[in-house]
Amino acid sequence: MNQLKIDWSPADHTATWPAKPAYPNGEAIDEQPGAPRSCFANLRYPAPCCGTWSVHCRACRKTVIVTAAGLADDPRSVRIGCLGGGR
């Protein structure tokens, strides 16, 4: 069973900056590099517009907010470190 609940919240504006050229195919977000346990999810890529992903782990109850702008450098995936109780 997937422990992550992912919700998208659109923002009421559009991106006013260009995409970062270092990430032409999106970026993999690792919220806590080196964590002994973590949960992983792919995100809709690119995001439909500017907004935020709320990524909540049902097992350990941690929530991470990831921003996106509807551009090529948007996050493609997110890995969040476990607070305990995760898989």
- For residue 49, the 8-state DSSP code is S
Q: Per residue in 16-63, pLDDT tens?
A: 999 999 999 999 999 999 999 999 999 999 999 999 999 999 999 999
Residue of 85 and 56 predicted with greater confidence: 56
Q: What pLDDT, on the 0 to 100 scale, is given for residue 87?
A: 45
Q: Is residue 18 part of a domain?
A: yes
Q: Is residue 65 part of a domain?
A: yes
Q: Is residue 38 part of a domain?
A: yes
Q: How does strand 75-81 pair with strand 38-42?
A: antiparallel
Mean pLDDT of 63-87: 89
Q: What pLDDT, on the 0 to 100 scale, is given for residue 46?
A: 92
The whole domain housing 28 covers: 4-81
Q: What pLDDT, on the 0 to 100 scale, is given for residue 1?
A: 52
Q: Is residue 73 part of a domain?
A: yes
Q: Is residue 22 part of a domain?
A: yes
Q: What pLDDT, on the 0 to 100 scale, is given for residue 86?
A: 43
In the chain, the number of structural domains is: 1
Q: What pLDDT, on the 0 to 100 scale, is given for residue 85?
A: 53
How many angstroms separate the CA atoms of 60 and 86, rounded?
5
Q: Is residue 86 part of a domain?
A: no
Q: How does strand 63-68 pair with strand 51-57?
A: antiparallel
Q: How does strand 75-81 pair with strand 27-30?
A: parallel
DSSP alpha helix (H) spans, the chain? none
- For residue 48, the 8-state DSSP code is S
